[in-house]
Amino acid sequence: MRPLTEEETKTFFEKLSKYIGENIKLLIDRPDGTYCFRLHKDRVYYVMEETMKKAANISRENLVSFGTCFGKFTKSGKFRLHITALDFLAPYAKYKIWVKPSAEQQFLYGHHVMKSGLGRITENTPQYQGVIVYSMSDLPLGFGVAAKSTEDCRRVDPMTVVTFHQADIGEYIRSEDTLT
Amino acid sequence: LPVERVEGTIVAKLPAPKTILPREKPIPKPKPETKWQQYAKLKGIQNKKKARKVWDDEIKDWRPTWGYQSRVNDELNEWVLEVPANADPYEDQFGKAKKAKTERVAKNELQRMRNIARASKLKVPGVGLTPTDTPSKDHLSKALALAKKSTASVGKFTDSLPKEKPVKNTGKKRKFEPNVGDMSKEKSAQLDILSKMAKAGPTVDVTKAMKQHLLEEEQQRQKANSERPKKAKSIKKSIKRKQGKDTKRGGGGKGKRRGRK
């Protein structure tokens, strides 16, 4: 377990800012407790200070997880966001996409969102912007990347992909063993 | 006792032994496994026995499979060696083959020593930088740092070149911040990084700027078109051309961005 180095923090924040922009401040500076990011076996965990201190007493091979895993660093140094970060990123999301009930299942199985399944989209979403995918009942379903900007979304035909799938809550069942 | 005659002498035949004598020396300790043996055990690879001699059709005789008179060392005893197509015609092929052989032997020796060192659990210093034909930038910088340090006073009095940067981390260990450091310091460092990122500002997206520019131009032209219907044909042409440019650029930008994602 160790804190992130400067480059690692930079990469990590860049990825986060794609989804929540400058609201990362609210994750770092929380009024209800000091939370910190820690790196363990290439995964970034967001954890309260006291829990972190207690977890530090467990040896590296035995420690599986602590706090919430936000994602992991790949072997080439890129950061990959996991679905377990959804609870913390959803309230601060800048760009949202609502998906119709008919297309919900498709997204939860890991497919992309077509225009036919698109319910609502926040205004002025730039293309390739990180978005949070919601169901029509405002339940966060996962992360995505906007394949088309809001204006483009209006013009394209219903079979084009409007959101690339990045992570969805169906992964809790599909990749149960790999999530920590 | 029963007596018999063996080769002219009278020999008494003794009965089979009944008492078991204890071992003189203790049971030998199991030898530590080499790296290959560990791997073979892990993968379940069985050792296939090879015959000592192999029939060689060219010589029409039996040759050992390995070692002294086997075919393995035939390349060294060749009296003619072809120069391959991509090699320098003035290169010494015989010398090259001999050097390759010595390198193989040295490598085998090194592996053997490493196995022994691992078994005896002694602290062995690392092999350091091995010479390569094509050193990388990283290799060269390491070599430079080592060369500077390799003096009697361990590099204390070696002058560096005027614009030479000091070495970053020579040792194997990286230094990290302590795990349970000052939390407020950590927070402020992270907020600093955030503010630096925000200060850098929104990166100018060239394709987006181009699209916007072209869109503006198109809108202007359409306005002009509605005022002056005579020039409709030429304007339509220019709009079509502009649209063509637009889509090409857009496609290029998309291609670029997709790779990054």
Instruction: Give percent above pLDDT 70 in chain B.
Output: 83
Tokens standing for B195? 């503010």
CB pairs under 8 A between A and B: 53
Amino acid identity for residue A31 in this structure: P
CB-CB contact of A77 with A11 (8 Å): yes
The model's pLDDT over A1-56, given as tens digits with 9 standing for 90+, comes to: 899 998 899 999 999 988 998 888 898 888 888 899 999 999 999 999 999 999 99
Spatial CA neighbour of A153 closest among A111, A112, A125: A125
The pair of three-digit structure tokens given for residue B87, joined into one six-digit string = 């090699």
User: Cα separation of B196 and A130, whole Å?
Assistant: 21
For residue A11, the model assigns a pLDDT of 92
Q: How many CB atoms lie within 10 A of CB A166?
A: 20
pTM, two decimal places: 0.55
Distance from C-alpha of A154 to C-alpha of B206, rounded to nearest angstrom: 24
The residue range of the domain holding B87 is 83-127
Residue B57 belongs to some domain of the structure: no
Q: Which value does ipTM take for this structure?
A: 0.80
How confident is the model at residue B68, as a pLDDT? Answer: 86
Q: Which residues pair with A144 in a beta bridge?
A: A131, A165
Q: How do strand A113-114 and strand A161-168 relate by DSSP bridges?
A: antiparallel
- Cβ-Cβ contacts under 8 Å, A25 against chain B: 191, 194
Residue at B216 is within a domain = no
**DSSP letters for B91-142:** S-HHHHHHHHHHHHHHHHHHHHHHHHHHHHT-------PPP-SS--HHHHHH
Whether B257 is in a domain gets the answer no
A161 and chain B in contact, CB less than 8 A: no
For chain A, list the domains and their CATH numbers: 2-89 (3.10.450.220), 93-174 (2.30.130.10)
Distance from CA of B232 to the nearest CA of A (A): 26
pLDDT of residue B255: 42
pLDDT value of position A47: 93
Mutate to test the interface with B, among A16, A28, A60 (most CBs of B within 10 A): A28
B73 part of a folded domain? no
In the predicted structure, residue B254 carries a pLDDT above the cut 50: no
pLDDT band of residue A170 (cuts 50, 70, 90) is: very high
Q: Which helix (H) or strand (E) holds A8?
A: helix A6-20
More confident residue, B5 or B247: B5
Which residues numbered 98-157 in A keep a CB inside 8 Å of some CB on B?
Answer: 126-128, 145
Compute CA B156 distance to the chain's CA centroid, rounded to the nearest angstrom: 33
Q: What is the DSSP string of A121-170?
A: E-TTPPTT-EEEEEETTS-EEEEEEESS-HHHHHHS-TTSEEEEEEEETT
Q: Is residue B10 in a domain?
A: no
Residue B77 lies in a domain: no
pLDDT, tens digit (0-9, with 9 covering 90-100), for A91-130: 999 999 999 999 999 999 999 999 999 999 998 888 888 9
pLDDT tens per residue across span B83-124: 888 878 888 889 988 999 999 999 999 999 989 988 888 777
Residue B92 located in a structural domain: yes
pLDDT grade, residue B230 (50/70/90)? low
Mean pLDDT, residues B116-133 taken together: 80
- pLDDT tens-digit series, residues B185-226: 888 888 888 888 888 766 667 777 888 888 888 889 988 888
CB atoms within 10 A of CB B24: 5
Q: What is the pLDDT of residue B213?
A: 86
CB spacing of B191 vs A56 below 8 angstroms: no
* Whole-number average pLDDT of chain B: 81
Q: Which of A87-91, A138-142, A171-175, B200-204 has the lowest mean pLDDT?
A: B200-204
> Which band of pLDDT confidence, cut at 50, 70 and 90, is reported for residue A180?
confident
Say if the Cβ atoms of B176 and A5 lie within 8 Å. yes
- Number of structural domains in chain B: 1
- Supply the DSSP symbol for A2: B
Chain A CB contacts of B179 below 8 Å? 1-3, 38, 52, 56
Q: What is the mean pLDDT of residues B4-22?
A: 84
| Residue B158 located in a structural domain | no
